[in-house]
Structure 1
Amino acid sequence: MEPTLTIRSSSGEYPIWVGANIRKQAGMLLKDILSGKSKVLIVTDRKVGSAYLTEVSEAFAPFLPVETAVLPAGEETKSFTQYENLLTKALEKGLDRQSIIVALGGGVIGDIAGFMAATYMRGIPFIQMPTTLLAHDSSVGGKTGINHPLGKNMVGAFHQPKAVLYDTNTLLTLPDEEWRSGFAEMIKHAYISNQEFVELLKKKVQSISDLKSDQIKDLLTRSIQVKADIVQDDEKESGVRGYLNFGHTLGHAIEKNIGYGGLTHGEAVVIGILFSMKVSNALQLSAWDVESEEKWLKELGYPVNKHKDLSHKELIETMKKDKKSSKGQIRMVLLPETGKPMIAAVEEKVIQNVLADK
């Protein structure tokens, strides 16, 4: 089976496979990457592990000795404590520089397992096996990391995977809120890339159930390609890769202030996307019909007004700690028009007014 896509970056290139039930062929598809390695450590969480760990372990077993590490499920797992536990597990299992990590799970597992791989013995290879729709974004591009109590993803490293194996059948057991969360990143990719993609999503996806069909592979592939093109141009986020943070400045602040788990990541990002459109309008950079955009997102079930229950002052203080911000000045991705994102400093007064719908 040929790869669906190939990602190219300054660190090298790596294949992405997208297809149904390919988790059961993991060892065979990845045999060239596994060649010469000493052992594999599959990192997963309890929820994903109960469903897929046995068969994924069996897929790798003919090629390498298999070790496993099962972490708690949830955003709280991206912590210093669990990171240290993972390093300890790797040392206890005798992993060396010729070992390889497999991240089997959603974005949380991909982030922490990737960061562990980036830092264990100064860096060993890893493979992404995402099991959520949201992880189609985070599994590509090499961003890894954990959270700090004062901010999300504040500790991390760029460490590209050796491959991404995306079994679309693992999505079928996801609840609607997880489909919605992942679809938010597709929406983001569409708005920062081109109007045709936006219109395609609006036409094809009128409800979340529309995603649970054969069309998901094509939509996933198209969305991943947007990210692949950007990563190829800017692997370390010194320029255009920052556009992938569209919707995330307020989104991350909402997550932090509402408490991780209070909203899904994608639900928070959608609120952030609409907020960026409103700020773009307020700065007279654009003429978004935000009500129209909001209508479609509401019909898909996104809680677009959830942030209004939060302290605007606390949201702004958290936004100032965003990685794009500088010297306490909020910088965010704005969107003058579809496919034309930009990063700009925004005065606090403008942020205040838009949050207050003034």
Structure 2
Amino acid sequence: MKKIDSITVRLPYITQKIFIGCDIFDFALREIIAMRYDKLIVVVDSNFYKLIKSNLERCSENKIADIIVISPVKKYKEFNACSEIIQKMVQAKMNRNCCLIAIGGGYVGDITGFVATNYMRGIDFIQIPTTVMSMSDAIIGKVAINFGGIKNLLGSFYSPRYTFCDINLLLTLNKKEIIFGLVEVWKHTLVVNDNSIARKIADYLDGKSYPDIFFDLTKFSLKTKKKIVENDFNDKNGIHKALSLGHTYANYLEQKFNLRHGEAVFYGIILEIILSLHFNTINQDKFNSIKPLIKKFEENIGMLHKIQTLINIEEIINNLKFDKINQGNHFTFVLLTKNGFCVKSNVTSGNLREAFIEFSKFNIL
């Protein structure tokens, strides 16, 4: 019997069950088929579909009404992609006792979840994430799509009812994709000050991997996010904002430089570490303890110099005014502290100019 761990996330409107294990994809399909849904529609990443097509065909039992294959690129995380799925659901006469299944990374999960939360005022969806990023960060609490060139403008606080994290699926990824996902795991270590997990990330970046490393990292991230989301589901009391560490500047970088989400978040975290030093929420000793892992990430990502060369501070500041966590006329950023994080909601344009000047000179290698 394969080892399968589970995590239960208790949210105001749903109890989400997450299963984590190795080589559990067929187990997941059997469990889903056995559930009491009238019909299922599968939305699957085009890069992944060819690897699991035969698995889906073996488990269909006439319950899968359709399989929708989508490309996991930014232009598809728009309403047009959602509209295509909705049309298929209407054609299949999907009712409220039907379910969507998302198989893929964060884009596929967001698009599928957005449709699920809106179709007939909300139906269940189930997620089988296939990337480090989606397993560690994108499967609890919220879904969103882009609109009008603005990232994640439309969305809601909504989770899949069931999630199956098959660690073996990560074997299909190249090292860059894994490293981009590990940035989100690193983010979680920073906001809860967990040095032991940070060391495991460093081990992987140094090539010192071991069999259960991604099982351990995924479970840590999910437990961290579970605790945060259960305590601040609707992002009302500031706890949930911890998950936005690095994301304010990252949203701009993704659009400007066409970066992947993980690499953009990495540079967003560097900026917020600089802001943390600026506001004295961390001291130099704390910064020095973080620097070695920053260096290891930069050795693998290697975009810092290009970003520094093309910085346009006024353009960035104007763009950041539209970030969703801002309050009033000031900017809001998540900063690090000695033992975790704090939310700074009165960051001025002047503070940002100083931080970006320091960022433009930042040298870690």
Match of 2:274 among 264, 271, 278: 278
Structure 2 counterpart of 1:69, which letter?
Answer: I
Could you give the per-residue CA deviations for residues 26-72 of structure 1, whole angstroms, max 9, x where no partner exists?
A: 2333466x22x11000001321222224413533x248344211122
Could you give the per-residue CA deviations for residues 192-216 of structure 1, whole angstroms, max 9, x where no partner exists?
A: 0123345433553333x55584321
Q: From the superposition, tell whether residues 53 and 157 of structure 1 become closer, same or farther in structure 2 (CA, over 3 Å).
A: farther
1:193 aligns with 2:184: no
Q: 1:155: how far off?
A: 0.3
Determine helix, strand or coil for the equivalent of 1:97: coil
- In the other structure, the counterpart of 2:219 is 221
Structure 1 counterpart of 2:129, which letter?
Answer: P
Q: Verify the 8 A CA contact 2:116 2:123 in the aligned structure 1.
A: yes
- Higher mean alpha-carbon deviation, 144-153 vs 177-186, is at 144-153
- Higher mean alpha-carbon deviation, 91-100 vs 191-200, is at 191-200
Q: From the superposition, tell whether residues 158 and 182 of structure 1 become closer, same or farther in structure 2 (CA, over 3 Å).
A: same
2: CA distance between counterparts of 1:133 and 1:23?
Answer: 16
- Higher mean alpha-carbon deviation, 68-77 vs 306-315, is at 306-315
Let me know the Cα RMSD of the aligned residues: 2.2
Match of 2:263 among 264, 267, 289: 267
- In the other structure, the counterpart of 1:11 is 13
Structure 2 counterpart of 1:294, which letter?
Answer: I
- In the other structure, the counterpart of 2:319 is 318
TM-score (norm 1): 0.91
- In the other structure, the counterpart of 1:73 is 72
1: CA distance between counterparts of 2:152 and 2:4?
Answer: 33
Q: Verify the 8 A CA contact 2:205 2:297 in the aligned structure 1.
A: no
1:346 aligns with 2:347: yes
- In the other structure, the counterpart of 1:148 is 147
- In the other structure, the counterpart of 2:127 is 128
Determine helix, strand or coil for the equivalent of 2:304: coil
- In the other structure, the counterpart of 1:303 is 303
Instruction: Show structure 1 runs of 4+ deviating over 6 A.
Output: none
Q: From the superposition, tell whether residues 321 and 57 of structure 1 become closer, same or farther in structure 2 (CA, over 3 Å).
A: farther
- In the other structure, the counterpart of 1:236 is 234
Identical columns (%): 26
Could you give the per-residue CA deviations for residues 262-290 of structure 1, whole angstroms, max 9, x where no partner exists?
A: 22111110111111010011122222236
Q: 1:296: how far off?
A: 2.9
Structure 1 counterpart of 2:256, which letter?
Answer: N
Structure 2 counterpart of 1:194, which letter?
Answer: N
Determine helix, strand or coil for the equivalent of 2:263: helix
Q: 1:292: how far off?
A: 4.1
Q: Verify the 8 A CA contact 1:140 1:228 in the aligned structure 2.
A: no
Q: Verify the 8 A CA contact 1:177 1:264 in the aligned structure 2.
A: no
Could you give the per-residue CA deviations for residues 225-253 of structure 1, whole angstroms, max 9, x where no partner exists?
A: 11111111111111211110001011111
Alignment size in residue pairs: 351
Could you give the per-residue CA deviations for residues 123-160 of structure 1, whole angstroms, max 9, x where no partner exists?
A: 10000110111102343223111102342101011112
Determine helix, strand or coil for the equivalent of 2:20: strand
Q: Verify the 8 A CA contact 1:27 1:63 in the aligned structure 2.
A: no
2: CA distance between counterparts of 1:46 and 1:303?
Answer: 28
**5+ residue gaps, structure 1:** none
**5+ residue gaps, structure 2:** none
- Higher mean alpha-carbon deviation, 115-124 vs 17-26, is at 17-26
Q: Verify the 8 A CA contact 2:330 2:345 in the aligned structure 1.
A: no
Q: 1:324: how far off?
A: 0.5
Determine helix, strand or coil for the equivalent of 1:172: helix
2: CA distance between counterparts of 1:222 and 1:201?
Answer: 11
TM-score (norm 2): 0.89
Could you give the per-residue CA deviations for residues 162-201 of structure 1, whole angstroms, max 9, x where no partner exists?
A: 1111111211111222111110100000000123345433
2: CA distance between counterparts of 1:63 and 1:165?
Answer: 22
- In the other structure, the counterpart of 2:356 is 355
